[in-house]
């Protein structure tokens, strides 16, 4: 009598398991039901990999849009867009001097959404350089680099340099006139460093001039080495924000909440195409041959003094950035934009930033053939 009963129980439980399959799969993934109380919401956050990246509770000040302006998050989203579009572009791109340019034309002419993909990648890259610089300015002007956040500031400075280097290495890949001559100028600047300059230049190019070896090196750095190092540093950056007690804030209670903003890269990519000039012609440099816009401040300084403009001043600038939170101690003015207590520090930083912006504007609009002054209004 007992055997058929066991059989019945078995088949019932199989049937029940099948019926409950969707619910069980859902529970194995998310563990908690849709939360309805604060306690359940906290538990959902703790047990979910993606949600646990954000703290269960944040200070009101952190959510004020005009405090952080969401610039760190926008930098991160641009990094994600660059990763996704970059992987898709890798399906079509070949890092060879004989094929790279043709592949660019293919993206324009034959690959579905190819031009849109390239535009997204290009405009996000320019956007990321700009937004990371603005994020760095926001952090400094709100005194958020001061203790206990010194280490995270240093991680940030590394991320800033890597962002520039990633954009720079990507610049060469289309293998058009713009790419070739911008990188020729950019790597020549590295060559001005005393003692090791020429070695560094050779290490970057794998040769004495920009050619196949340089294209391969820039490609490997651009698609593998730099993104991996950056992903690791971004993870450390986020982890540190939590360990440093969340975003910086002023001592006194702060004002009301509102929602953060979004980035319009897709709209931009539908409206404007990434440039593609003539194929590389090593015999015909454009006059003037200009570096990418974010290095035009450097190029302008190099036109006054190769060593000081290209190496000396930039090195001092980066060392000062790294040292800033160790030179400016104490908690005065932390969490407030342009605090009176930090007038001197903010004025020095703003002066450096403005000088750089002025040099970039001069290099972009006011320099013509042989790097002579021209009027952009003629
Ligand atoms: C790939 C580049 C970067 C990404 C993705 C990134 C991301 C973020 C995010 C999401 C936040 C929190 C919210 C916000 O401020 O928007 C943050 C905060 C912070 N970032 Fe960055 N960041 C980057 C580069 C930098 C740079 C260049 C610096 C400085 C040199 C920096 C220093 C800091 C500091 C000190 C904080 C804490 C600020 C505070 O407590 O108020 N970060 N970052």
pLDDT of the residue at 105: 94
Asked if residue 253 has pLDDT above 60, the reply is no
Q: Is the CB of 322 within 6 Å of ligand 1? A: no
Compute the distance between CA of residue 76 and CA of residue 97 in angstroms, rounded to an integer: 32
Helix, strand, coil shares, percent, the chain, to 5: 65, 0, 30
Q: Is the CB of 247 within 6 Å of ligand 1? A: yes
Domain that holds residue 296: 58-247+274-371
Q: Would 19 be classed as within a structural domain?
A: no
pLDDT of the residue at 306: 83
Share of the chain above pLDDT 90, in %: 54
Q: Would 351 be classed as within a structural domain?
A: yes
Asked if residue 1 has pLDDT above 80, the reply is no
Q: Would 130 be classed as within a structural domain?
A: yes
Q: Are 167 and 294 in contact (CB under 8 A)?
A: yes
- Protein residue closest via CA to atom 8 of ligand 1: 72
pLDDT of the residue at 54: 79
pLDDT of the residue at 299: 87
Q: How far is the CA of 103 from the centre of ligand 1 (A)?
A: 36
Q: Is the CB of 237 within 6 Å of ligand 1? A: yes
Q: How confident is the model at residue 192 (pLDDT cuts 50, 70, 90)?
A: confident
Tell me, what DSSP letter sits at residue 175? -
Q: How confident is the model at residue 256 (pLDDT cuts 50, 70, 90)?
A: very low
Tokens 């952090």 belong to residue: 139
Asked if residue 222 has pLDDT above 60, the reply is yes
pLDDT of the residue at 86: 97
Specify the number of domains making up the chain. Answer: 1
Mean pLDDT of 321-330: 93
Q: Would 205 be classed as within a structural domain?
A: yes
pLDDT of the residue at 359: 93
Structure tokens at 245: 């007690």
pLDDT of the residue at 9: 57
Asked if residue 332 has pLDDT above 80, the reply is yes
Whole-number average pLDDT of the chain: 88
Q: What is the pLDDT of residues 138-157, one digit of tens each?
A: 999 999 999 999 999 999 99
Q: Would 323 be classed as within a structural domain?
A: yes
CATH number at residue 176: 1.20.810.10
Q: How far is the CA of 253 from the centre of ligand 1 (A)?
A: 23
Asked if residue 83 has pLDDT above 60, the reply is yes
Q: Would 378 be classed as within a structural domain?
A: no
pLDDT of the residue at 124: 95
Q: How far is the CA of 360 from the centre of ligand 1 (A)?
A: 24
Compute the distance between CA of residue 326 and CA of residue 361 in angstroms, rounded to an integer: 32
Q: Would 8 be classed as within a structural domain?
A: no
Q: Would 178 be classed as within a structural domain?
A: yes
């Amino acid at each position: 009598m007992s055997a058929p009963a066991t059989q019945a129980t078995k088949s019932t439980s199989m049937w029940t398991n099948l019926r409950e399959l969707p619910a069980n799969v859902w529970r194995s993934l998310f563990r908690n039901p849709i939360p309805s109380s604060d306690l359940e919401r906290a538990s959902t956050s703790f047990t979910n990999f993606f949600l646990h990246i954000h703290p269960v509770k944040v200070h009101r000040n952190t959510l004020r849009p005009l405090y952080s302006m969401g610039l760190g998050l926008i930098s991160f989203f641009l990094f994600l867009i660059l990763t996704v579009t970059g992987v898709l572009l890798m399906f079509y791109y070949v890092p060879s001097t004989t094929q790279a340019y043709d592949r660019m034309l293919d993206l324009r002419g034959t690959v579905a959404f190819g031009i849109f993909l390239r535009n997204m990648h290009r405009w996000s890259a320019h956007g990321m350089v700009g937004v990371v610089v603005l994020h760095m300015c926001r952090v400094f002007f709100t005194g958020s680099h001061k203790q206990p956040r010194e280490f995270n500031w240093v991680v940030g400075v590394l991320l800033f340099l890597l962002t520039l280097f990633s954009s720079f290495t990507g610049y060469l890949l289309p293998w058009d006139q713009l790419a070739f001559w911008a990188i020729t100028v950019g790597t020549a600047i590295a060559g001005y460093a005393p003692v090791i300059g020429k070695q560094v230049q050779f290490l970057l190019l794998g040769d004495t001039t920009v050619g196949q070896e340089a294209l391969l090196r820039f490609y490997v750095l651009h698609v593998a080495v730099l993104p991996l190092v950056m992903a690791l540093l971004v993870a450390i950056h986020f982890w540190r924000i939590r360990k440093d007690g969340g975003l910086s804030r002023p001592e006194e209670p702060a004002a009301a909440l509102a929602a953060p903003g979004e980035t319009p890269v897709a709209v931009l990519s539908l409206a404007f195409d990434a440039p593609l000039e003539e194929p590389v012609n090593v015999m015909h440099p454009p006059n003037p041959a200009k570096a990418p816009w974010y290095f035009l401040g450097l190029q302008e300084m190099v036109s006054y003094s190769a060593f000081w403009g290209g190496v000396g001043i930039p090195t001092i600038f980066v060392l000062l950035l790294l040292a800033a939170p160790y030179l400016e101690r104490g908690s005065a003015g932390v969490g407030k934009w342009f605090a009176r207590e930090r007038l001197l520090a903010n004025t020095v930083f703003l002066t450096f930033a403005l000088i750089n912006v002025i040099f970039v504007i001069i290099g972009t609009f006011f320099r013509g053939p042989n790097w002579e002054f021209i009027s952009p209004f003629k």
